[in-house]
Amino acid sequence: MTMTRQPSYYVYYLIIPITLLSLLSSLVFALPMDYGDKVALSMTILLSFGVFLTQMTNEMPRTSHQTSYLTIYLTSLLTLSSLSVAMMILILRFHNYRGKVPQVLQKWMIFWKCKCSKSELATDIAQDPAGDVNAQKCTGDPTWKDVSTTLEAICLRVFLCLNVSLGIVLFTVLTVFR
C-alpha cells in the first residue's frame, strides 16, 4: 500500500486565499485618502490572517521539531499586515495635520516629488518647452496632504514588493525542498 499526500487542500483552501489577502493588504494604500474605511479594511485583513493562522494551526500536526514553511509564511504576512495597519494610521494622521511641514520633511518631499515625476516631466516638457513645469513640480511648500500622499505611494510599492517576494521565497523553498 502506497500513501501519497495530495497538496490540493492546502493550495485551494490556504495558499491561494492567503496570497490574495496579502496582495489586498498592499492595495489598501492605493485607495483614495477620502475613503474613510482604510484602517477598517486593513484591520479586517489582519484579522483574516489571524483566522487563517488559527485554522492552519488546527490542521497541522503538533510537533516542536520543525515549523512548517506555510506557518512561517503566514506569520510573516501577519507581521507585514500589522505594519501596514500602523503605516495606514500614521499616513491618515499626517493627512489630517494642520500647520507647517518641518524643513527636513519639506526637503524629503521635494526630492520625492522630483524623483517620482521624472516620467511625467518628459510629457510635460514636450508640452511646455520653456521648462517651467520642472520648476513648478520640484519647488513650493509641500503640505501635510502631500506628505501623506507621497508616503502612501512609497508604502504601496514597498509592501507590494515585500508581499510578492515573500510569496516567491515560499514557493521556491517549497519547490526546492519538496
With 0-12 / 13-18 / 19 or more C-beta atoms within 10 angstroms meaning exposed / middle / buried, residue 126 is exposed
Q: Which fold has domain 8-98+144-176?
A: Methane Monooxygenase Hydroxylase; Chain G, domain 1 (1.20.58)
| 166-176 per-residue burial string, b: 16 or more CB within 10 A, e: under 16 | bbeebeeeeee
pTM, full prediction: 0.77
C-alpha cell at 127: 508640452
Question: Domain boundaries in the chain?
Answer: 8-98+144-176, 102-142
Contact 29, 155 (CB under 8 A): yes
Note the pLDDT of residue 36. 72
Between CA 39 and CA 24 the distance in angstroms is 13
Per-residue HEC secondary structure of 144-158 comes to HHHHHHHHHHHHHHH
Residue 26 clears pLDDT 70, i.e. is over it = yes
The average pLDDT across 104-123 equals 67
Per cent of the chain over pLDDT 90 is 21
